[in-house]
Structures are given as C-alpha cells and as structure tokens.
Structure 1
C-alpha cells in the first residue's frame, strides 16, 4: 500500500513505513512541542495521542519508520495527519535554508515535523507549561490523565488517555491541585468551565486566522501570547505563528536583531522574515538554540 509515496507494510501489531523523508523521532518528540512521549532503551518513543498508545522508531538512513500497536485504519485516520506526513519538509527546509542561520540550525533538527495535536490537550498542557520545566509539565499532565483519563494497556503497562472536558467536569479545584501544577491549577479549572459552557469554542478558534485565534485564546486565564501561539502552532495549523520562549528570544536577538528587544518586535521580525513558514523556522531555531545553548555565552554559529 502507498500513501503520498510512502510504502506501507503490515507487520505483527504494527506497520513499517518506507520512503519516509525528514522524520527523526528524537527531533520530533524532543523539540518542545509535546509532553507525552517517552524515550525507550532501543531508541524508540512510546506515547499517547488521540486515545491511542503507539511506539515509534525511526531509521533516517533507510528512510524507514516503524509504528507498533497500530494498524492501517488508525494510520489513515490518525497518524498520517498527526505526523504531518503529507507535507514536503524537504521543500520547507530548502526555502528556509536561503537564510544562513537557518541553514545551520536545520542541520541540528533536520528530522523535525510539527505534530497536529488535539487543541483541548494543547490548551491545558500549555497552561501547565507557563514558567515551568518540561519534566514538571510532563508529570502534571500524567497525573491529570491518571486521575481522569481512560486506562489503556500496552506491553504490560497501563497508560492513560488525556481527559476530555466532560471527564473533568466534576473536578473541583482541590482535585485538580493533585496534579501538582501549582498556581496553574486555578487556570486549568477555569479553562475546563469555559470550554464546557461554550465561552471558548476550540473548533471555531481553529478556523480563524492567527491574529483572531490568538485574541480568542487570550480570553482564557493563564493563556498569554506565547502559550496561545504554541496552542495555535501545535494543534491549529497556524504555521505563521512564532512562539517566543527564552530560547527563541535569545537566538532571534543573537543572530538577527543584535539587541534586547520587546516580544512584539520579535513577532514583527518573524512575520516579515519568515512569513507563512515562521512556525517551522521557530522549531528549527528552538532546537538549535537549546542544543548549542545560544545566548548562554557558549553557543555561536559554526
């Protein structure tokens, strides 16, 4: 079977995808866009998405990806879009590599793909992410899922789906606080209520342009510009957004602006410089900045 030139072979409890270009599991799952993927001893990653547990292993040399605990139907209905396999990342990288900084940055995260995740999960996950570290974010998301999500057994272990707004509808603030997200718990509670009562309609927001979508998301307590931009980029296909965290601020100022500037100036620069590819540029620059510690006094253009 083929889909978008990908050759799909069924194996026991999974699939082998051949002729998959620009796919590196480490780059995808460790570029800051997701929190529920765990590295395994064999170099694969196990994660939960769209109510499913799946194990992913990539072989960049042979252009091969192995998906375990799935089937053709789930691949067609979920994973093809989730991993953005219909997009030509080679063309994106070719275009962005016209910029000398990005040409180098892409070499560090050349296998990144921007996942198409669930807006509801991203809303809560990125509220939790504010002023927080990735291990703590992952812990809180995991605890919330254990308390209110549905259990799934895989390989002798129990995983949990991310809870829906309805599954969280009976949760009081004192219950939510058990996920150890600190001051963010009150924002989680407010977001749950706003989605349940229709104050926030994520499907509607997803269909707006980026500026209008951001304006709507900013109505949710605990959602600032950076959090809104992450939600839009990682679940709403707003690829002209440029989420600015400490690493992106450092790398943009270090290589392009050469001075400390307000966030607004960084957004304006990215929009003018990268246009509709700003989100892809952001991911390559984020990975590069973090790997090279750009802005910490240790990293410089090689």
Structure 2
C-alpha cells in the first residue's frame, strides 16, 4: 500500500501531542513503525510524520463518494480526485490553514509559561472534529482517564457504528449516528473541538489547577469550580490569548499532562529534534 504526501512542516504539526493529548480518543500509536492509526470522517487512516510533510494511507472509507469503489480504496488504489478529497479532509481535520508558528510567537511574547512549554510542545493543533462524536466522547470523559475513555469510545463504535474495514486483524468502525445514541451536552468541549469556537475554554479540575498555580493564585485551595470561577478562568485566558484562547491553553494542558512529563517521552522528543537537525546538516 502506497503512502500519499501532504506538505506540512513538523514544527507546524506534532502528531504525538495533537493526537494523544486528550482531544480525540480514537488514535493509536505503533512505536515500532512510528505510525498512527485512527478513524475520523467515517474513514480509517494511517499517518506518519516526516520533516516537511505528513504521509497518509486510507485503509477504508464509508464516505458516500466512495461507496461504489470502496475495494479500490482499501487496496490503496485511490484515484487522483479521491486523493484530493482525502487531503482536504486531513487539512480540515488538523486546521492546516492556520499559521500556527505566528500564533506561537504571539503567545510566547505574552506568557513566559507558554514560551517554556512550546519548546517541547510545538505544533499542537486543535482538531476540527465531528460534533456528535466529540459530544459523546466527552460524556465518556467524565471522571475517567484517557485510556479508559478510548476504550469506552471504541465500544460505542463497535456496538453501534458501521464497519469500515479490516486491517492487520483489527476491524475499524465509524462513530455511530446520533439517532443511535442518547442526548446530553459537555458544552465548551464541543464548542472548542468541533464547532469552531476556538476561544471556548473547558474548565475542568486539571485546567483549574493550571490556572490557580500559575495565573490566578487567589483561586488556590478551592474544593470545587464554581460558575463564577469557571467564567473568571475562561475570561483570563481569553484576555491573554485572544480569539484562539482554547487552542493556546491546549498546549499548556499537554505540557502539564503527566504522561508527557515522563523520562521516556522527554527522551523521545529530544531525540526526535536532534534527529531532524542531524538530517538537515
């Protein structure tokens, strides 16, 4: 199966922080091959990153445009028009129309903590997700950790979603239609991650701790996040970062996650940067 290239410098898109930082729960990483496999837009994808481009394979798709020749797609024989559509889907999903480097410079000039965090967490993108999937994923997120949320979301897809394809012994499913699921709402997560309201800022316990420890010390030691505190924290970051406040805070969120602070992750990040610099020499 051939890989298709999408121009994108690694400084503008970091897959590990973006796909594994608590935004989406349907991506898995193969350390041996340095590849990511996941599902969005009723399509199963395989991704890997190079210095100046992103490579992808389409493992299968249920999109109406390809319902008549899904076998060709599964075998990696996508036509030129199909490649164009898949590239557009990836560009939209990662919001590649946004010049992230310029925003990083702006945010770094305003905030020393961000300036420090972005040295390792460069290229963290706010995924443009489908509202229904995002909604139910964050319903599952209440009082859970990321690995358990991922398991719950996959069970939803397995039991209620439509089968996309088989790949290396694994069956991939689309996220189920809303009619098959019940209603509820985690408002700011949905607004930020799938409705294009990039200044929305979901304030959970973790976000509260970041704000209280680094920006709003008078909020330290509170047992619960009240409505007034929720609004104050959100307004603080919107004043600091502007229209993409939710995006900027996601970088701080990733930097604060314990799994990204482990020795192995720091070593991998450092080695990755060194390897890229060496290839340029």
Q: TM-score range by the shorter chain?
A: 0.7 to 0.9
Structure 2 counterpart of 1:159:
172
CA shift, 1:14, in A, is 3.3
Structure-1 residue corresponding to 2:92? 81
Structure 1 Cα separation of the partners of residues 8 and 132 of structure 2: 32
Does 2:248 match 1:281?
yes
The 8 Å contact of residues 254 and 260 in structure 2, kept in 1 or not, is answered as no
Q: Of residues 139, 142, 167 in structure 1, which corresponds to 2:151? A: 139
- 2:190 corresponding residue in structure 1: 231
Q: Secondary structure at the match of 2:164?
A: strand
Asked whether the equivalents of residues 108 and 287 of structure 1 are also in contact (C-alpha less than 8 Å), the reply is: no
CA distance in structure 2 between the partners assigned to 1:29 and 1:75 by the alignment: 18
TM-score (norm 1): 0.70
**Mean Cα deviation higher: 245-254 or 45-54:** 245-254
CA distance in 2, matches of 1:293, 1:153: 32
Check 1:246–1:63 CA distance in 2 against 1; reply closer, same or farther (3 A cut): farther
CA distance in structure 2 between the partners assigned to 1:154 and 1:113 by the alignment = 29
Asked if the contact 2:199–2:245 (Cα under 8 Å) also holds between the matched residues in 1, the reply is yes
Q: Which residue number in structure 1 is paired with residue 103 of structure 2? A: 92
- Contact 1:38 / 1:45 at 8 angstroms: preserved in 2? yes
Q: Equivalent residue of 1:35, what SS?
A: coil
* Alpha carbons 1:243, 1:282 under 8 Å: kept: no
Which position in structure 2 is the counterpart of 1:38?
28
C-alpha deviation, 1:19, in angstroms: 4.4
How far apart, in 2, do the equivalents of 1:150 and 1:292 lie? Answer: 32
Q: Which residue of 2 aligns with 1:108?
A: 120
Q: Which residue is 1:54 aligned to?
A: 45
1:44-97 Cα deviation digits (max 9, x unpaired): 1100101000011113xx222111127523324411101111110011101101
8 Å CA contact 1:82, 1:117 repeated in 2: yes
Of 259, 282, 285, the match for 2:218? 259
Which one of 141, 148, 154 corresponds to residue 129 of structure 1? 141
Alignment partner, residue 237 of structure 2: 270
Provide the rounded CA distance (Å) in 1 between the counterparts of 2:119 and 2:149: 28
Label 1:146 to 1:88 Cα distance change in 2 as closer, same or farther (>3 A). Answer: same
User: What's the secondary structure of 1:145's corresponding residue?
Assistant: helix
Matched pairs, number: 227
1:291 deviates by 4.2
Residues 242 and 26 from structure 1, CA distance in 2 versus in 1: closer, same or farther, beyond 3 angstroms? same
Structure 2 CA distance for aligned equivalents of residues 263 and 146 of structure 1: 35
Aligned to 1:65: 54
Whole-Å separation in 2 of the counterparts to 1:154 and 1:123: 26
Secondary structure at the residue paired with 2:235? Answer: helix
Contact 1:53 1:154 in 2 (8 A): no
The reply to whether residue 118 of structure 1 matches residue 109 of structure 2 is: no
Residue pair 2:104, 2:118 contacting (<8 A) in 1 also:
yes
* 1:24 is the counterpart of 2:36: no
Taking only aligned residues, the RMSD between alpha carbons, in angstroms, comes to 2.1
CA distance in 1, matches of 2:238, 2:102: 19
Which shows bigger deviation, 236-245 or 113-122? 236-245
TM-score (norm 2): 0.75
List, as ranges, runs of 4+ consecutive aligned residues in structure 1 with deviation greater than 4 Å. Answer: 291-294
Deviations 1:244-289 (A, max 9, x none): 2222211111111123263232122122222212112211110111
Q: What secondary structure does 1:97 align onto? A: helix
Partner of 1:299: none
